[in-house]
Amino acid sequence: MVKKYEKINFGNKFIIPDTSAILTGRIEILSMNCLVPESVIREIRHGKMGRVITHDLNVIKTAAPKDEYMEEVREAAMETGDFPYLSQTDMEIVAIAKEHGGVIISDDYSLQNVSSRMGIEFHGCGIDAIKESIKWGYLCRGCGTKYDQKLESCRICGHRITRYAIKNVKRH
Ligand SMILES: [Zn+2]
């Protein structure tokens, strides 16, 4: 199956992949700001690939879904008719995404549907999830003039130039 690959810059948001998304190996779980419910870790550990990626799993942050968000997910799933198709883990993923303002990575249609209903950002697994790319800018500490290249001193006032990070929030 040919998938269309997207390159997405997630900025500082939490990335919340479901079990399948992690198992695709396309999510950079080591370098990205991943957050999952404990149940996702359990599913992977108990699955056939558990042994292979156990080491990586230790670096993923986990969060326990709060009851109030679980209830919100349940209500949304009832409304969209997706409730029978969602596992407990799926619902926990949506609940955590809602609470932490995260971006869900999943190819599960019902999970995407409920996320959409709740105004949660989501993407399919056919992505190349890239780490936030940092672009550097240069700033004069004297007059505040910004430069896009490194200089010894400010062309205007002669003060020292320091480097600062320009966050690249552009999406492709
Ligand atoms: Zn200056």
On whether both 122 and 91 belong to a single domain, the answer is yes
CA of 165 to the centre of ligand 1 (A): 18
On whether both 121 and 155 belong to a single domain, the answer is no
- pLDDT of residue 43 exceeding 60, the answer is yes
Burial class (CB in 10 A: 0-12, 13-18, 19+), 7: exposed
CA of 97 to the centre of ligand 1 (A): 44
The reply to whether 28 falls in a domain is yes
On whether both 122 and 138 belong to a single domain, the answer is no
Q: What is the mean pLDDT of the chain?
A: 82
CA of 128 to the centre of ligand 1 (A): 40
Place of tokens 């400010």: 154
The reply to whether 172 falls in a domain is no
Task: Copy the structure tokens of residue 157.
Answer: 């006032």
CA of 133 to the centre of ligand 1 (A): 27
- pLDDT of residue 118 exceeding 70, the answer is yes
CA of 157 to the centre of ligand 1 (A): 4
Supply the DSSP string of 47-83, one letter for each residue.
Answer: STTHHHHHHHHTTSEE-PPPHHHHHHHHHHHHHHT-G
- pLDDT of residue 16 exceeding 70, the answer is yes
Domain assignment of residue 138, given as a range: 134-167
The reply to whether 12 falls in a domain is yes
Q: Return the DSSP state at 156.
A: T
* Single pTM value for the model: 0.67
Question: Model confidence at 23, in pLDDT bands (50, 70, 90)?
Answer: confident
- Tally: H helices and E strands in the chain: 6, 10
On whether both 87 and 17 belong to a single domain, the answer is yes
On whether both 70 and 94 belong to a single domain, the answer is yes
CA of 150 to the centre of ligand 1 (A): 13
The reply to whether 1 falls in a domain is no
CATH number, domain at 160?
2.20.28
Task: Give alpha helix (H) positions in 7-141.
Answer: 19-23, 38-46, 50-57, 67-80, 88-100, 109-117
CATH number, domain at 59?
3.40.50.1010
